[in-house]
Amino acid sequence: MIYVIGIDSGSTTTKVVVMGDGITKAFWVVPTGANSQAAAAKAMETALASIGLKETDIARVVATGYGRESIPFAHQQITEISCHARGAKWLFPGAKVVIDMGGQDSKVIRMGEKGKVLDFKMNEKCAAGTGRFLDVMSRVLEMDVETFSRIGLHASRQAEISSTCTVFAESEVISHIAKGTPVAEIVAGIHDAIANRVYALARSLLAPDGDVVFTGGVAKNSGMTRALEAKIERPLRVPENPQIVGAIGAAVAAWETLAE
pLDDT single digits (tens) 191-219: 998 898 899 889 999 988 889 999 998 99
pLDDT for 121 beyond 70: yes
What residue ranges do the domains of the chain occupy? 1-92+241-260, 94-238
The answer, yes or no, to whether residue 125 has pLDDT greater than 70, is: no
**129 pLDDT more than 80:** no
CATH assignment of 1-92+241-260, given 3.40.50.720, 3.30.420.40, 3.20.20.370, 3.40.50.300?
3.30.420.40
User: H-type helices in the chain, by residue range?
Assistant: 36-50, 80-91, 131-140, 145-151, 166-179, 183-202, 222-232, 245-259
pLDDT at 87 exceeding the cut of 90: yes
CATH superfamily name and code, 94-238: ATPase, nucleotide binding domain (3.30.420.40)
What pLDDT score does 208 carry? 85
How does residue 117 score in pLDDT terms, banded at 50, 70 and 90?
Answer: very high
Tell me, what amino acid is at 102?
G
Distance of CA 146 to the CA centre of its chain: 16
Average pLDDT over all residues of the chain: 91
- 1-92+241-260 shares its CATH topology with 94-238: yes
